[in-house]
């Protein structure tokens, strides 16, 4: 029952809900304008009640509100009741109104029918009245047409006889008007061509036109013929002018034939004078051709300029025919004598021809270059450009071959002048002067070729530009990049250092220190001088200028060349060449600065970090690095003042190279010691050898055996000092301090933070193991098993303990289980390999960063020999005069030396 009642209530609510459309609602609002919330379409009872009684205190006047509501309800009920009662008689009123409307429509229909019948009667009456008027109008039109036709016929009959008489007398001035009229009348009578009399008259008119055309043509030939000067029947200029007017009225072929004959007559002298067998016809006298036609046109216009009608454009037609003949003749001559053409002669002929064509464009309209299809439609004016010069286009390869030879000579000149390249003494030297000279020559060639052709020759020029941009990069820029000479370190020099060690055992510690000093000095990577660094920056700035100018050159070529070749203009390979030069220069500068820092990092490995007794200022190797940076970086920065972005790249690449090397060097150190590792004893002995005191070496070993971490603290201090210096590297040694780029700062902070974390991890005690691994993962969350092995080696942890710690580390990092397991032996070999990692890395460097592979191997072998020798010597410090032991030391050193 409850479900039935709920359904009934839902249907009841649905029936009571009235939904009005928006149009109805707007209409109600316009009629019943009210601000009462009860009249609003979105009325909400709950909101209305809450508005009336916002709090408990407002309930005090609830009786008044209820009374007011009841009063409003009663008013609404009264209104509804009156409206309902008023609708009782609505149906009856509607039926009455409908009946009245139907009666009105019936009356209206009868009125319309009456009006229509009256209109038809009126129309019939009008037709009856105007019947005779139409007949009269038609008769008038027929009579007028008949009179006009008779007049035309009379004109045609009389005009034919008159034209015959006037044409026989050659009275062309009087023939013109009747001829035009008769031709028009004859066109009118073409619709009556089936009448015999009309056919006869039409034939007579055509015969008169034919006779006039023949007669006028003969008169022209008699007048301009060289043998007709004594002829008594020769026409006057006035008659000739009238004859031209008559020829214009006749058929088009008449005028065309007259002009063709006359123009050939005018150019007959030119054809004979400049025949291909004549010396004057060769290219070196091409300007004489143009001088001849200029004189001839002036003479023609002076004598006969008023004879021919202006619309005949006789002067322009003579010029166009002259250009056509000249082009054909030059093409034959040039093809026959191609071997005699050099680029100077070709450019001379093209230049004279182009100047003449420009003169013609200014003088004539060019309307005769393209014949119109009708008299009413005139074509757009043409251009005389290339009308003659097109004959030279097949031979423009002579020009491009000449440019090829000139560019070859120019590049060779630049290369020879660049053998002793001297960088200007000012701080910012700019670019190589010959670079600007090359592009000025390119611009001159491009402008010159545009005057010749922007099609195939221009594309050939683009290929030449590409070729010599690469030539300039290889022979002028790359050839002059300084290259450091490899060091002259040989086995004999190392052997001589070893002999120094064994020669005098009276002062063994001093001899060992001297051996190490000599070895370090001989193993130095060659450095660039300050002048070489300025040369590299000089070349880098020039390559940057070339790169920017090549882009501008490519855009200009695409703008000027013909559309069919635009897609083929691509200088991206040449831009890549200059990009490579810039990258190579930056890499050389980075390698040079790296080489300066490598010696300091090598010195870092010779310090007995585990035996440091107190933490003081930054170490000596840090001071050396700072000194090298202050000596090198300002020179590069000053010489790249106009190439700031590439200086920033240099700084980026240097820190990306230096920081990993510094971290690898950290892995080779043993800043702590438990006193039980043989490796720590060896490191202590080497450190003792470099300290020049046997007693100090013993003290250091003792300090290390106690688990000293002061070395780590000193390393942390040195790392922080290096981080500060690297952060300030872009502005080091400069009076103007600039904030380094955010990307650079991010690299330095991230890299040096890892170095600091490594040192902090080394400082942590390994026991208990779980706590140490927990601290390790917090400090180095992105580490790996290999790095974990290296850090354990830095702490001089025993192999057995290493294996246990590695297993615990793997259990703490489940993601490492997917990696291949690393045994303690492998880890030990990796740690041992790290001792010579710097030498191995140097062997993989390019030759420009110092040394070759064989040389690096010799240095590594010598370092191992010195280390072994130092260890043996310090182990036998209490019995230095024991000859048997000394003999063993000599044999040990000889066995360690490379063969």
CA distance 223 to 215: 12
Tokens 């063709």 belong to which residue? 260
Please report the pLDDT score of residue 575 as a whole number.
92
pLDDT at 469: 93
- Structure confidence at residue 503 (pLDDT): 41
CATH 3.90.25 holds for 398-485+525-586? no
Residue 202: predicted pLDDT: 67
Q: Say how far residue 609 (Cα) sits from the centre of its chain.
A: 55
CA distance 772 to 339: 91
Q: Is the dihedral of CA 713, 716, 722, 723 positive or negative?
A: negative
pLDDT for the residue 148? 67
The DSSP secondary-structure symbol of 475 reads: I
What's the confidence (pLDDT) of residue 882? 39
The answer to whether 471 and 406 have CB atoms below 8 angstroms apart is: no
Confidence at residue 4, expressed as pLDDT on a 0 to 100 scale: 47
The sign of the CA dihedral 18, 22, 28, 32 is positive
Residues 6+ apart with CB under 8 A from 828: 793, 799, 802
The predicted pLDDT at position 168 comes to: 66
Residues 157 and 94: their CA atoms lie apart, in Å, by: 89
pLDDT the model gives residue 441: 92
Q: Which two tokens stand for residue 590?
A: 């980075």
pTM (predicted TM-score): 0.61
Given 3-state DSSP classes, what are the helix, strand and coil percentages for the chain, each rounded to the nearest 5? Answer: 80, 0, 20
d(CA 165, CA 161): 6
Q: What is the pLDDT of residue 3?
A: 47
Q: What is the pLDDT of residue 875?
A: 36
Residue 844 · residue 591 · CB < 8 Å: no
Q: List all residues 6 or more positions away from 514 whose beta carbon is below 8 Å from its beta carbon.
A: 500
DSSP 341: -
Residues of the chain with confidence (pLDDT) below 70: 1-18, 32, 145, 148-206, 209-210, 226-235, 248-249, 251, 370-382, 418, 420-421, 425-429, 484-525, 673-708, 814-899
Q: 28 is written with which tokens?
A: 């109600």
The burial class, CB within 10 Å (0-12 / 13-18 / 19+), for 594 is buried
Residues of the chain with CATH 1.10.357: 398-485+525-586
Helices (H), 189-312: 196-224, 237-249, 252-266, 268-273, 286-304
Q: Is 549 left (phi over 0), alpha (psi -120 to 50) or beta?
A: alpha
Give whole-number Cα distances, 565 to 390, 464, 520, 560, in Å.
19, 15, 61, 10
User: Are the C-beta atoms of 610 and 673 separated by less than 8 Å?
Assistant: yes
The per-residue pLDDT for 79 is 85
- C-alpha to C-alpha distances, 184 to 34, 158, 178, 205, 256, nearest whole angstrom: 87, 15, 10, 11, 22
Q: Dihedral sign, CA of 340, 344, 345, 351?
A: positive
């Amino acid at each position: 029952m409850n479900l039935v009642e709920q359904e009934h209530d839902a249907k009841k609510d649905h029936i009571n809900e009235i939904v009005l459309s928006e149009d109805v609602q707007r209409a109600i609002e316009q009629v019943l304008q009210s601000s009462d919330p009860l009249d609003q379409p979105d009325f909400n009872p709950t909101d209305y009640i809450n508005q009336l009684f916002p709090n408990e205190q407002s309930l005090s006047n609830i009786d008044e509100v209820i009374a007011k509501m009841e009063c409003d309800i009663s008013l609404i009920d009264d209104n509804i009741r009156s409206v309902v009662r008023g609708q009782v008689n609505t149906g009856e009123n509607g039926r009455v109104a409908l009946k009245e409307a139907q009666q009105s429509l019936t009356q209206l229909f009868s009125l319309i029918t009456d009006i229509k019948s009256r209109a038809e009667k009126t129309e019939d009456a009008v037709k009856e009245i105007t019947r005779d008027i139409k007949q009269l109008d038609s008769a008038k039109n027929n009579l007028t047409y008949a009179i006009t036709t008779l007049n035309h016929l009379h004109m045609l009959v009389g005009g034919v006889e008159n034209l015959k008489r006037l044409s026989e007398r050659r009275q062309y001035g009087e023939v013109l008007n009747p001829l035009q009229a008769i031709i028009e009348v004859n066109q009118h009578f073409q619709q009556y061509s089936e009448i015999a009399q009309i056919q006869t008259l039409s034939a007579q008119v055509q015969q008169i036109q034919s006779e006039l055309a023949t007669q006028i043509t003969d008169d022209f030939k008699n007048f301009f013929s060289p043998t007709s000067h004594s002829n008594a029947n020769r026409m006057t200029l006035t008659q000739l002018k009238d004859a031209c007017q008559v020829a214009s009225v006749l058929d088009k072929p008449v005028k065309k034939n007259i002009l063709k004959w006359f123009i050939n007559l005018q150019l007959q002298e030119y054809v004979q004078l400049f025949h291909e067998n004549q010396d004057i016809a060769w290219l070196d006298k091409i300007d004489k051709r143009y001088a001849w036609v200029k004189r001839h046109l002036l003479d023609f216009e002076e004598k006969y300029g008023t004879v021919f009608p202006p619309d005949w454009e006789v002067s322009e037609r003579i010029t166009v025919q002259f250009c056509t003949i000249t082009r054909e003749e030059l093409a034959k001559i040039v093809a026959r004598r191609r071997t005699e053409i050099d680029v100077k002669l070709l450019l001379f002929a093209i230049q004279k021809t182009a100047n003449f064509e420009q003169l013609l464009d200014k003088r004539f309209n060019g309307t005769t270059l393209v014949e119109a299809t009708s008299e009413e439609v005139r074509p757009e004016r043409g251009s005389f450009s290339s009308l003659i010069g097109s004959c030279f286009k097949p031979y423009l390869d002579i020009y491009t071959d000449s440019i090829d030879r000139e560019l070859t000579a120019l590049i060779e000149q630049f290369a020879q002048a660049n053998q002793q390249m001297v960088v200007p003494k000012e701080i910012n030297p700019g670019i190589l002067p010959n670079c600007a000279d090359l592009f000025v020559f390119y611009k001159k060639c491009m402008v010159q070729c545009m005057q010749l052709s922007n099609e195939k020759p221009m594309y050939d020029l683009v290929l030449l530009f590409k070729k010599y941009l690469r030539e300039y990069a290889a022979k002028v820029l790359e050839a002059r990049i300084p290259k450091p000479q490899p060091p002259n370190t040989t086995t004999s020099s190392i052997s001589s250092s070893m002999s120094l060690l064994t020669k005098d055992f009276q002062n063994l510690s001093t001899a060992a220190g001297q051996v190490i000093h000599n070895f370090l000095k001989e193993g130095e990577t060659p450095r660039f001088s300050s002048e070489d660094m300025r040369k590299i920056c000089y070349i880098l700035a020039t390559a940057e200028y070339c790169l920017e100018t090549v882009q501008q050159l490519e855009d200009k070529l695409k703008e000027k060349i013909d559309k069919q070749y635009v897609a083929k203009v691509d200088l991206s390979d040449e831009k890549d060449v200059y990009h490579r030069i810039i990258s190579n220069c930056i890499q050389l500068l980075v390698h040079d600065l790296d080489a300066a820092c490598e010696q300091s990092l090598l010195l870092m490995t010779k310090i007995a970090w585990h035996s440091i007794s107190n933490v003081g200022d930054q170490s000596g190797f840090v001071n050396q690095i700072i000194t090298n940076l202050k000596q090198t970086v300002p020179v590069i920065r000053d010489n790249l003042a106009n190439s700031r972005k590439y200086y920033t790249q240099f700084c980026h690449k240097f820190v990306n190279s230096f920081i990993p090397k510094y971290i690898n060097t950290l892995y080779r150190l043993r800043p702590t010691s438990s006193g039980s590792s043989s490796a720590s004893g060896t490191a202590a002995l080497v450190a003792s050898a470099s300290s020049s005191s046997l007693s100090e070496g013993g003290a250091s070993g003792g300090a290390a055996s106690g688990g000293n971490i002061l070395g780590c603290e000193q390393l942390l201090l040195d790392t922080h000092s290096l981080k500060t210096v690297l952060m300030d590297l872009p502005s080091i040694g400069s009076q103007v301090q600039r904030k380094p780029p955010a990307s650079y700062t991010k690299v330095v902070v991230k890299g040096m933070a890892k170095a600091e974390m490594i040192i902090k991890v080394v400082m942590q005690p390994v026991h208990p193991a779980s706590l140490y691994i927990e601290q390790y993962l917090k400090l180095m969350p992105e580490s790996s098993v290999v790095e974990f092995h290296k850090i354990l080696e830095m702490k001089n942890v025993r192999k057995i303990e290493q294996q246990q710690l590695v297993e615990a580390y793997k259990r703490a990092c489940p993601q490492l289980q997917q990696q291949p397991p690393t045994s303690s032996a492998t880890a030990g070999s990796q740690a041992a390999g790290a001792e010579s990692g710097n030498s191995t890395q140097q062997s993989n460097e390019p030759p420009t960063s110092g040394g070759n592979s064989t040389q690096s191997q010799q240095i590594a072998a010598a370092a191992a020999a010195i280390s072994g020798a130092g260890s043996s010597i310090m182990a036998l410090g209490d019995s230095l005069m024991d000859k048997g032991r000394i003999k063993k030391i000599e044999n040990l050193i000889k066995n360690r030396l490379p063969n």
